[in-house]
Structure 1
Amino acid sequence: MKASTVAAIAEVGSIVADAVRQAADPASIWEPLRRIASFDAAMISIRDPLTGQHQPLTNKGYEEPLLRFINREYLSCHSYDVARARRKPIRMQDVGPSFYQTRVYREFLADAGYREGFTLVLRSGGERGRITGLMTMSFGEARAADCLARRGLELVAPVLGRLVDVSRNSTWLTRMLESNAAAYMVDSNGNVIPAGPGDTPIEPSAVTISACRRLLASSNSSLVGYGARREGETWERVHIVRLPDIPPMNSSHVVLMIRHAALPHGITERELEVLTLISRGMSNREIGARLHISPRTIGRHVEHLLLKTGRANRSALASYAVEEGVIKLGL
C-alpha cells in the first residue's frame, strides 16, 4: 500500500475524532477519502437506529434524485443486501451481471455517467457491530475502483462507522429523532435523565429500563428490540447503547432511544415471543416449554413467521430477528 494512502487513512481517523467531538465539519473527510479512492461522487448517511431509515450526513457530487433514491428505495435492493451480508466494500461487478439491469443503474447511475462504484455498509464496533450508516462512491472510470482502493476503504470502514454512530454525537442523535421519539441516559441504578431536545413525550416502561440495567450488567455494547406493549398495536421500539465510562460519573450509563411503533409484517405478540426464542437457538420443544404451549402450536407460529417475513427457513428467521432487532425485551 502506498505511503500516501496510509497517510490518508490516518487523516480520516483524525477528522472523525474531531467530528464526533463537533470540532470538525464531516465534509472535510472527502479530501483524504479521495486520495484513497479517486471517486467522482460519494455520500455518507446516518442510519436511524429506531426506524432503519437513512439521512445524508455529507454528500459530494450526487444530484438530489439519486441521493434520495440511495437513502430510500436502494435500502431494499438486492445489491444493498449483498453489501450488508459481505460486510466489506462491494463493487457493481461484485454483485454480478444482474446489477446492470437494476433500476438504480438504469435510471440513475448510467445516465449520470457512472460506470463503477462501491457500496459500504457502515458499522460501529467492527464487522460484527451494529449498522450505523452507509457510504456509496461512484466512478466515471471503472478502473479507478480497483483492489487497492477497495482495500483502503476496507481499512477505514471501522472509523467511518464511528463517524455516523448517533450514540457518539448528541447533535446527530437529536437530528435523527422524530417528533414521536425520545432519548434518555439511564444508569445502572435505573435513574433516567432526558437526553433529547425539548419535551420528552415518551416515558420508558419498567421493562425497557430493566433492559438498560441488564445491558450495563453484561458485556454487550448495544441492544435493539421491542419493550412494553402500549395502546392497541403500539409498542416501544427501543435502541440501547452503552456509553464509555466517564471518570467523574459515579456509575455506567447507556443512551436509550425510544419511539412508538407497530410490530413489523403484522406479526402478533406471540409470534414476536417465538421469534425471540428462535434467535437464541431454541427448538420448538424448548420454546413450547418456555411459553407453556405445545410444540405443534409453536410449529404453526414458525410457519406464519416464515410467510409474513418472507424468510426461507428457521436460520434465516433467526438472522432476521438479530439483524433487525425484532425481539421482545425482558423475555
Structure 2
Amino acid sequence: MVPLSAAGAALLDEIVEIALMPGGPTERAEALVEPLRRITPCDAVLVTVFDPERRLQAPLLRHGYSAAVSQALEAPQFSEDVERAGLLGPRPPVRLCDLPVPAETLPTWSRCMYPAGLREGLGAGLFTRDGRYLGVAGTQSADPTPATEEAVALLDHAGPWIAHAIDPLRTVSAIAALVSDAIAGVALTRAGTTAPLSGLPGHPLLRLGTPLITAATTPASAENPLATFLCPADDNTDAETDLFRVSVLNCPPEPPGYLRKVVLLSPAPYPYGLCREELEILGLLIEGWPHIRIAATLGTSTPLLADCIHKIQTKLHATSHHLAAARALRRGLYVPAALITRALSERC
C-alpha cells in the first residue's frame, strides 16, 4: 500500500471522528457520505450491513443511485454478487478493474449499474478489529478512470473505522449500559441464537436453550421495551439472595435487523419480604393462571395457595391478587413460569 498524503491522513482523521460519534449506525453512515466521496471522485456511495442469518446485504446508506439501482441493491442477487466479487473475505479494497471475476458476469453491475451510466467503482469488505464481517463500503463513478492507489490505501485504512461506525453490536452494547448494575448479558437474534455484548461477560444461565432464555422470548417479555423479572441463581437453594434480576430490552429496528433483544443479569432488588414460593406464585398469577392450576403445578392445596396469596397481598399492600400481580409485574418481583422447576411441596 502506498503511504497516505497529508490530505489523505486528514480525511482519515475525519472518518475516525465520525466513527466515534454518538448516535446510531444510520446517523453515522449518513455523516460518512461526504468523506467517502472525497476518497475518490464518484457519483454514488453505498454502505451495507450484512445479515448473517439471512446471508443478505442490507443497504444502510445509498446516495446518488437511480431508483432502479437502489431497488437492485436490496435484491438477493446483489448479495450474491458481493460474494463473487470477493468482498466477504479480508482483502484490500478492489476497483472494478481488479475484480476476481469479469464485471459483466455480475448481474447487479451488468443489468443495473452499467445501464445507469456507472463505469467504475471502488469497494471494500468491512471488518471490525476483532474480525467480525459487517458489510461493504463502496463508491461508483460514471468516469471509467480507476481510483488511484492512494485512494485504495485510504479506503483500506478507513475500513475498520467505517465498520466501527455501523457496528450493530455497538448500539446493542449501549442499550445494555442503560442497566448500570448488570453483571452479565447477551444479545438474542431473530433466529434465537445469542451474541456476546462488549464489556459484559456471559453467564451459564444465559446459554442458548436455558429456561431463562426461553422466558426472555415469551410474548409477555416481547410486549414491553423493557421487561424485568427474577431468576433463581441455583435450583438447590431457596435463599432470597440467590436470585438475579433479569432485564430484557428490545433492540432498535435498524438494519440488518437480526439483533432483537438484550438480556442482562443484575443483583436482585429488595424483595419486600417475598419468599421464593411467593415470587413463583406471582409469576403464575401474572401469566393469568387460575388458582386451581397454580395449586396443581406447585404441588399444594387450594386453601394453602389462598393463604399464600393473602400473605403476598399483605406484603405488597394490595387489596386483591390482581393488584398484587400488577405491582409485582411493574417492579419485576416475580419468577416466570418457564423458570419454575420444582414443586412447592418439595421445598416446604
Q: Could you state the TM-score of these two structures normalised by the residue count of structure 2?
A: 0.48
The reply on whether 1:43 has 2:33 as its aligned counterpart is: no
Q: CA deviation at 1:70?
A: 3.3
- 8 A Cα contact 1:38 1:144, kept in partner: no
> Which residue number corresponds to residue 98 of structure 2?
94
Q: Which runs of 5+ in 1 are unaligned?
A: 202-237, 240-248, 251-331
What is the rounded CA distance, in whole Å, between the counterparts of 2:134 and 2:146 in structure 1? 27
Equivalent pair of 2:45/2:140 in contact (CA under 8 Å):
yes
Counterpart residue type for residue 146 of structure 1: T
Asked whether the 8 Å contact 1:45–1:54 carries over to 2, the reply is yes
Q: Distance in 1 between matches of 2:69 and 2:113?
A: 8
Q: 2:86 aligns with which of 82, 86, 96?
A: 82
The runs of 5 or more residues in structure 2 that have no matched partner are 176-186, 207-211, 224-257, 260-265, 268-348
The DSSP-based 3-state class of the residue aligned with 2:87 is helix
Matching of residues 143-162 of structure 1 within 5 Å: 143=145, 145-162=147-164
Which one has a bigger Cα radius of gyration?
2
CA distance in 2, matches of 1:140, 1:172: 40
Counting aligned pairs with the same residue, the percent is 20
CA contact (8 A) 1:80 1:119 kept: no
CA distance in 2, matches of 1:136, 1:23: 16
Q: What is the Cα deviation at residue 16 of structure 1?
A: 1.1
Task: State the distance in 2 between where 1:107 and 1:138 align.
Answer: 15
Task: Report the alpha carbon displacement of residue 95 of structure 1 after superposing the two structures with TM.
Answer: 2.0
**Residues 45, 136 of structure 1: alpha-carbon distance in 2 compared, 3 angstrom cutoff:** same
Moved >3 Å (runs of 4+): 19-25, 78-81, 176-189, 191-201
TM-fit CA distance, 1:200: 4.9
Matched residue type, 1:149: A
Stretch deviating more after TM superposition (113-122 or 185-194): 185-194
2:172 maps to 170
Q: CA deviation at 1:94?
A: 0.9
Structure number with higher helix proportion: 1
- Match for 1:156: what amino acid? A
Residue 110 (structure 1) aligned to one of 111, 114, 124: 114
1:42 and 1:12 map into 2 onto residues whose CA distance is: 15
1:158-307 alignment runs, 5 A limit: 158-170=160-172, 181=192, 187-192=201-206, 199-200=221-222
Look up the match of 1:133. 135
CA distance in 1, matches of 2:77, 2:121: 17
Q: How many residues align?
A: 202
- Structural RMSD (CA): 4.0
In structure 2, what residue type is equivalent to 1:104?
T
Matched, 1:16 2:16: no
Do the aligned residues in 2 keep the contact of 1:20 with 1:168 (CA within 8 Å)? no
Structure 1 CA distance, aligned partners of 2:30 and 2:159?
16
Per-residue CA deviations over 1:239-269 (Å, capped at 9, x if unaligned) read 9xxxxxxxxx99xxxxxxxxxxxxxxxxxxx
